[in-house]
Amino acid sequence: MRQGSHVIVLPFPGQGHLTPMSQFCKRLASKGLKSTLVLVSDKPSPPYKTEHDDSVTVFPIPNGFQEGEDPFQDLDDYIERVQASIKTHLPELIQDMKLSGNPPKALVYDSTMPWLLDIAHGHGLKGAVFFTQPWLVSVIYYHVNKGSFSVPATKYAHSTLASFPSFPMLSANDLPSYLCESSSYPNMLRIVIEQLSNIERVDLLLCNTFDKLEEKLLKWVKSMWPVLNIGPTVPSMYLDKRLSEDKSYGFSLFTPKSAECMEWLNSKQPNSVVYVSFGSLVILKEDQMMELAQGLKESGCFFLWVVRDTELDKIPRNYVEEIGEKGLIVSWSLQLDVLAHESVGCFLTHCGWNSMLESLCLGVPMIGMPHWTDQPTNAKFMEDVWKVGVRVKAEGDGFVRRDEFVRCVGQVMEGEKGEEMRRSAEKWKVLALEAVSEGGSSDKSIQEFVSMFC
């Protein structure tokens, strides 16, 4: 065990959590604070790119499943086994660190696992909760948790539901999905709401956002809790090519088809390609995939579409031959490299918070097709607050027709409205760079965190 101050960082084992929390570790390292990143592995031997250097040590622990078992058959069972594994292995790790004379100072844990606060405190560590969603979403969950905001929300569907500082009125359509009656994931509602259940006892709240992004709401948040905004966790080199920070991704659960994407994008004109990705978890119904495929084809634009291996059989037969040079389908991309490429003119996204921040930071306007969890609320940010994109209009059952994809692509890729979005996106890009640059609000927050624990 190395000597010197250090902290433990424990993300939930999903790409949308691993990405920002591993980048956070790198930011700490750049300011001299070491960390141990505890990775719950979904495979007996970790698939993670083991990219640890002197300042970030990776400590893999099992997810509690045997080889050959499918961990994702039953979400409750998965969460229970992960929890049991962490409860066994984390105290052992802390104990070992103590025995070696180098106890960690704090546990930075994912907000979806609030019970980790008691483990931190029980071992004499400070507990810092890390939110991978915007403050607005956390504040909504807080009010639901306190009982001051009643769910399910569908009954309010077409009337104004709630307002928050600096934010337009929210209808049910804009709320995190699990708050609505129609949600088919009742246990997820419990998990997202419990994130805020012990917030009064937490030592510090970290969030992957930046001050200017949620400025007015932040005043209320800061009056309630000790908060540090440390985002966007996008490596600064993507924001400003002159910066030499290591631009590597941290930890990826998927293998990107990087060279293939870059070669294809290099052959295209600036702003001519629609990038399409729904992140690591969203599953589209087969008829929706078909409709999207036809919509992209009919849009007339070039498109680079990420279709994970598990979704591939939903692509229409002969589709790849039919589209020819018009489109490229890959199983995973290095998304930041794609968004940073000059030929990409817009991002059709599921509105995952990381994807939204990445697109915003790189000045790429968006088409939002939110699916679940915080994505509808993020889409509201994108369309009505940041004004950097449009949200697709779905039919009553949530289905989006091909004509709607064609309309949205046309609106963002061409015409005056598209230009306005591009200008807004450029403005946000500058503000994001300001926040993470030396002396910027998020840079100062990282420094403050480091000073607390160094």
What minimum distance in Å lies between the beta carbon of 338 and ligand UDP? 8
Closest CA to 222 of 234, 205, 247, 201: 205
- Identify the residue among 16, 134, 232, 295 touching ligand UDP (CB under 6 A): 16
- Please give the DSSP secondary-structure letter assigned to residue 392: P
Residues 354, 359, 363: CA angle, nearest 5 degrees: 150
Question: Is 106 or 334 the residue whose CB approaches ligand UDP more closely?
Answer: 334
If one asks whether residue 306 binds ligand UDP (CB under 6 A), the answer comes out as: yes
What minimum distance in Å lies between the beta carbon of 192 and ligand UDP? 13
Element (H, E) at 243: none
- Identify the residue among 138, 333, 411, 441 touching ligand UDP (CB under 6 A): 333
If one asks whether residue 15 binds ligand UDP (CB under 6 A), the answer comes out as: yes
Contact by Cβ (8 Å): 375, 177: yes
Tokens 């009056």, residue? 223
What minimum distance in Å lies between the beta carbon of 111 and ligand UDP? 13
> H helices within 172-257, ranges in order?
186-194, 215-224, 236-239
Question: Is 335 or 411 the residue whose CB approaches ligand UDP more closely?
Answer: 335
- CA torsion, points 374, 448, 107, 432, in degrees to nearest 10? 30
Give the nearest residue (CB) to ligand UDP: 16
Residues contacting ligand UDP: total by CB under 6 A: 19
Question: Is 65 or 275 the residue whose CB approaches ligand UDP more closely?
Answer: 275
If one asks whether residue 437 binds ligand UDP (CB under 6 A), the answer comes out as: no
Q: Which stretch binds ligand UDP (CB under 6 A): 44-52, 157-165, 197-205, 354-362?
A: 354-362
If one asks whether residue 355 binds ligand UDP (CB under 6 A), the answer comes out as: yes
Q: Which amino acid is at 282?
A: V
Map the footprint of ligand UDP across residues 175-234, applying CB under 6 A: none
- Residue 308: CB partners within 8 Å, gap ≥ 6? 254, 280, 331, 332
Query: Catalytic amino acids?
Result: 17, 110
Cα distance between residue 38 and residue 20, in whole Å: 14
What minimum distance in Å lies between the beta carbon of 439 and ligand UDP? 26
What minimum distance in Å lies between the beta carbon of 366 and ligand UDP? 11
Residues 433, 426, 381: CA angle, nearest 5 degrees: 90
Q: Strands, DSSP E only, in 290-417?
A: 302-306, 327-330, 344-349, 366-368, 389-391
Question: Is 332 or 449 the residue whose CB approaches ligand UDP more closely?
Answer: 332
Map the footprint of ligand UDP across residues 272-301, applying CB under 6 A: 277, 279-281
- Give contact residues for ligand UDP (rule: CB under 6 A): 14-16, 19, 277, 279-281, 306, 332-336, 352-355, 358
